[in-house]
Structure 1
Amino acid sequence: MPDIVQPSLTPQGVSPLVAEVKRRPDVKVTTLQSMKEKGIPVAALSIYDYPFARTAAKAGVDVIIVGDSLGMTVLGYGNTLPVTMDEMIVFASAAARGASPMFTVGDMPLGAYQISNEEAVRNAIRFIKEAKCAAVKCEASMKLLPRFEAIANAEVLVMGHLGLNPQKIHEMGGHRIQGKTIEGTKELLKTAKALESAGAFAILLEGVTEEVSGIIRNEIKIPVYGIGSGRFVDGQLLIGHDPLDLYDWGARPVPKYIKHYRSDSVGKTAGEVMLDAFSRYVQEVKARQFPFPENVHHIDIEAFKNPAKGSEEDAARILELMSFLPKAA
C-alpha cells in the first residue's frame, strides 16, 4: 500500500497558501478612491471560490468580483441569464472566505434587482449579510437608475456595469463592442455621470472602445475599471479562468481582450502555475503594460471627424474630450 502523503501545514496548522500571503492592508472603498486619485492601477479578477481567491490574494490582486459569469465558466450554461441569487450567494460566500485582504464585490444576477427597488435592496443586503461581500454590482441603464439610488440609500456600496451588458444579450443583439458611435458615446457618458450622482462608488466598463473609456474615466470622480475596454481606465478586470485558458470557447474566437499567461516551467504544481499567471497579470496591470495594443478596441475616428449632418457639435465635443490620447494612439 502506498504511503499516504499528509498535507503540509505551518506550525499554526494552516495551509502554506494561506500563511504565505503577504500581510497587506485590507483594500477598502477609500483605498480604491485613493488609488484613482494617485494614479495607481487596480488589478481585479472575477473569482468564484475559496482556492482561487486565496491564490489571487497571494498574487497581489486588489479586487475580486464574484460575477454571474460563473454561469458559463463554472456551471456550464450558455450565458449568464439562468444564474440565480441562491447560486450567487453560495459562490460569493466561498470566494469571500478566501478574499482577505482583497475587496469583494458580489454580482447581482438577472432578476435580482430589475423588479423593484425593494427587491434590489433586499438582494443587495443578502450579498453583504450572507456572503460577506463588501459591495454589489448591477448592470446599469438610465431606466434602472432608481435601483442604484435605492441600494446606495440603503447604505450598500454599489458598482455600475456599463457597455456590453451580458444580461441584455438579446436586447443588444449579441456581444457587440460599445462606444463606437457618437450617439452611443453620448449615452454611455450620460449614464456614467448619472450613476455617480445616484451614489455608485465605481463603474465597470465592459467591451467599450478605449477612447470612450478614457473620456468616461476623466469626466467622473469615482473609479472606472475596464474589462476589454482599453488602457485609459483606473484598473483592469479579467475573468479568473481566462488567464489560465480554462474556458472552452469551442468554435468561437477568443475575445481579443483576453491574454493567456503560458508557463514553460516544468515541475510546478497546478497551484503554482495559477499563482504565476495571476502574479504576472497583476504585475502587467500595475506597470500599465496590460492590456497590450492587440487587446484593445478603437473608435472609427473618421466617423467622428466627418459626422452625419446634425451631429457636428456632438462629434466636436467628443473629439475635444479625447485630447488626453497620446499622439501616436
Structure 2
Amino acid sequence: MSSQRQETVRRLTAPDIAARKGGVPIVCLTAYTAPVAEILDDHCDLLLVGDSVGMVVHGLPNTVGVTLDMMILHGQAVMRGSRKAMVVVDLPFGSYEGSAEMAYANAARVMKETGCNAVKVEAGPAVAENIDYLVKRGIPVMGHVGLRPQAVMVDGGFRAKGKTDHERARILDEARAAAESGAFAVVVEGVAEGLAREITGAIDVPTIGIGASAGCDGQILVTDDMLGLFDWTPKFVRRYGDLRGEITKAVAGYADDVRQRRFPGPAEIYFAKAG
C-alpha cells in the first residue's frame, strides 16, 4: 500500500463565501447533473442547483411547477459530481413562504437528503423572518431579491426591477432584511445597474449578480444559457460557447452515417474469435 495519503479536498462553505465580501469576485454557475457539476467544479466557487432546472431540463414554462422531490434529485446528482465548490439548492415555490416551521422542515429535508451546504430562498415580503428561523437552527441560507422567478404569476412575466423609486426602495429593503436575518449572501437579479451597486454597498454580505452589475461581489449565470444551448437567452447572458450548434452538427453526422450504413464500422463491432 502506498504511504502517500490521497489529498483531501475541502468543500467551500457559507463562511468562506461570506468572507469574500469586497474581495476577489465569487464565480457561480447553475448545475443540475453530476457530469456537468464535475466539469464546473474546478472553476467555480459555488454551484447553484436552481429551480431553473424546471425550465432548462424539464421544459416547464416557469419555475412554479418545480417540486421539492425534483430539487432533491438534482441536488444529489450535483453533490456526487462535485468536490470543491459550495453547493446551494433552491427551495421551490410553496415550500418556505408559509410558516417558519414548514420552511425548516423542507430545508432540513433538502440538507439531509442531498448533503448540500445551503439552501436559497427568494426573499420577498415576510420571508426574512423565515430566513432568521432557519439560520438560528443551523441551516445556511442564501437570499434572492429583484426579479424573483417564483413571483412570475404576480408580475405577469419576467421583467427587470428597480426602475421606479418605490420599487428600488422595496428591493433595497428586502436585501437589507435578508442580510440582517442571517443570509450569508444575496443574489441580485434583473435590476437597474445603479440599484445593484447600491445594494452591494448597503449590506455586509456578498451580492451575487445576474443581470445586475459588475460591481456585485460575484456573478452567476444559468450554465445552459452561457454555453449556447438555447436559441434565445436573456439580455444579461454572454454566450461563451455554441453547444447547440456543436450538438446539432454531431447528431446530423451520426444520423447521416446510420442512414448510409457507415455506422457502426469495423472499429465499433465485436467479432467472434477464430477457433
TM-score range, shorter chain: 0.7 to 0.9
1:98-113 alignment runs, 5 A limit: 98-113=81-96
Q: Structure 1 residue 125 and structure 2 residue 104: aligned?
A: no
Q: Structure 1 residue 32 and structure 2 residue 17: aligned?
A: yes
Q: CA deviation at 1:49?
A: 0.9
Question: Aligned equivalents of 2:74 and 2:80: distance in 1?
Answer: 10
Question: Aligned equivalents of 1:137 and 1:200: distance in 2?
Answer: 9
Q: CA deviation at 1:54?
A: 0.3
Question: Aligned equivalents of 1:75 and 1:122: distance in 2?
Answer: 26
Query: What percentage of aligned pairs have identical amino acids?
Result: 37
**Out of 209, 215, 240, which is 1:261 matched to?**
240
Residues 245 and 178 of structure 1: is their aligned pair in 2 closer, same or farther, counting only changes over 3 Å?
A: same
- Runs of at least 4 residues of structure 1 off by over 6 A? none
CA displacement, residues 94-137 of structure 1 (integer Å, 9 cap, x when unaligned): 00111210000000001111232111001111121111110000
User: How well do the aligned residues superpose, as a CA RMSD in angstroms?
Assistant: 2.3
Match of 1:81 in 2: 64
Structure 1: where are the runs of 5+ without partners? 1-18, 271-329
1:165-204 alignment runs, 5 A limit: 165-204=148-187
Q: Structure 1 residue 94 and structure 2 residue 94: aligned?
A: no
Q: Which amino acid aligns with 1:47?
A: A
Q: Secondary structure of 1:139's partner?
A: coil
Q: CA deviation at 1:262?
A: 3.0
Contact 2:228 2:242 in 1 (8 A): no
Q: Which amino acid aligns with 2:28?
A: A
Compare CA radii of gyration and give the structure with the larger one.
Answer: 2
Q: CA deviation at 1:167?
A: 0.7
Question: Aligned equivalents of 1:247 and 1:262: distance in 2?
Answer: 11
Match of 2:267 in 1: none
Contact 1:151 1:158 in 2 (8 A): yes
Q: TM-score w.r.t. structure 1 length? A: 0.69
Q: Which amino acid aligns with 2:130?
A: R
Match of 1:57 in 2: 41
Q: TM-score w.r.t. structure 2 length? A: 0.82
Question: Aligned equivalents of 2:172 and 2:56: distance in 1?
Answer: 30
Residues 248 and 154 of structure 1: is their aligned pair in 2 closer, same or farther, counting only changes over 3 Å?
A: farther
Match of 2:136 in 1: 153
Q: Secondary structure of 1:64's partner?
A: strand
Match of 2:257 in 1: none
Q: Secondary structure of 1:130's partner?
A: helix
Match of 2:30 in 1: 46
CA displacement, residues 155-200 of structure 1 (integer Å, 9 cap, x when unaligned): 1001111011111101112111111111111111111111111111
**Once structures 1 and 2 are overlaid, which stretch shifts more, 99-108 or 111-120?**
111-120
1:274-285 alignment runs, 5 A limit: none
Contact 2:227 2:242 in 1 (8 A): no
Question: Aligned equivalents of 2:151 and 2:79: distance in 1?
Answer: 27
CA displacement, residues 293-314 of structure 1 (integer Å, 9 cap, x when unaligned): xxxxxxxxxxxxxxxxxxxxxx
Q: CA deviation at 1:34?
A: 2.3
Residues 208 and 36 of structure 1: is their aligned pair in 2 closer, same or farther, counting only changes over 3 Å?
A: same
